[in-house]
Amino acid sequence: MPARRAGGRHGKPWRAAGVTLVVLLAISGTALLTAGLNPAPAQPPQPAEAEAAEASPQPGSTPRPPLPSPAPGTSTGQPGTPTGPGMPTGGPPPLAELPRSEPVRIGIPKIKVDAEIMPLGVEADGTVQVPPLKQADRAGWYRLGVSPGEFGNAVVVGHVDSAAIGPAVFFRLGSLKRGDRIEVVRADGELVRFAVDAVKSYPKTSFPAELVYGTADAARLQVVTCGGSFDRKEGSYRNNVIVSATRIP
C-alpha cells in the first residue's frame, strides 16, 4: 500500500531501494522521517559538525546525486574498505562477525533512548516503510540490509518528532558526541555495543550514500533521522542527521 502524507510535520515518503533509494532521497530533498507538531515544537538539537550548508533545489536545477553504492545488505560476509566521513582508521582488528539476527531494542544512555525496534521493508510503490506516527517512540531497522553485529552498515531510522506524541525517539540524536555508546539487543539475546565515531548533518541534496550503505570490514551502525531547519513549504526538514558508530567489545 503506498505511503501517504500525514498531517503536520510529516514529509514525503523515503524512497528505496539500493542506489535508487539514496539517489531519489537526495534528488527529491524530501524528508526521511519527519512528523509534525502544531504549534511549532522546540528545535531538535543539531550536531556541531555540518557537512555543508543547508540547501534546497532551486526551480529548474538538478542537485548532484550522491556516489552510487551497492544495494543494502550485499556487503554481508564480503570484506571491503570503509569510506566516507566518520569511518575509523587504524586501531585494533575488528571483532569477529556475528551471525544474522533481528535487532529488537536500541539503547542510547546519553540521550535516554530505550526503544523497541521494528523491522522495515519496502512498500509496493518503492518507498521504505517507517514506524507509524502513533508509534514514533519506536525505531526501525532496515531489514534488507545487514543486522547489527554483521560486517557492514546496519541502518536504524527513527522519527525526530510526531504530531501524535511530540518529540520522538531520535529527537535528541544530534546532541551525541564521539565516544558515546549505543547498545542494540538482538533476537538471539546478544547485546551488541557500538561507540560513536561521528555525528553530522547532511543536506538531503547531498545524502552520503557511501557512508550509510558502503561496504565495511567491521560491524558498523548508521542511525538516521531528520535535522536542520524545517521547510514549511515542503513539509519536511532540510537535512539528515547521521550517527556513525563501530562495534566495540
Q: List, for residues 125-155, the tens digit of each pLDDT value.
A: 766 678 888 899 999 999 999 999 999 999 9
Cell of 246: 563501530
Looking up residue 196, the CATH number of its domain turns out to be 2.40.260.10
DSSP 134: G
More confidently predicted of 33 and 94 = 94
49: phi > 0 → left, psi -120 to 50 → alpha, else beta; which? Answer: beta
Residues 6+ apart with CB under 8 A from 50: 200, 201, 202, 239
**At residue 6, does pLDDT exceed 80?**
no
Residue 88 lies in a domain: no
Do the domain assignments include residue 62?
no
- The domain total for the chain is 1
Does 169 reside within a domain?
A: yes
Q: Is residue 84 part of a domain?
A: no
| Domain-embedded: residue 213 | yes
Residues 79-124 have pLDDT tens digits of 333 344 445 555 677 799 999 999 999 999 999 999 999 999 877 8
Residue whose C-alpha is closest to residue 10's, from 162, 139, 119: 162
Dihedral in degrees, nearest 10, Cα atoms 24, 200, 168, 152: 70
| Rounded (5°) CA angle 230-139-89 | 85
> Structural domain of residue 224, as residue ranges?
18-52+98-248
Task: Tell me, yes or no, whether 89 lies in a domain.
Answer: no
In a domain, 83, yes or no: no
Contact, 141 vs 102, CB < 8 A?
A: yes
Of residues 213 and 4, more confidence is placed in: 213
pTM of the model: 0.73
229 domain residue, yes or no: yes
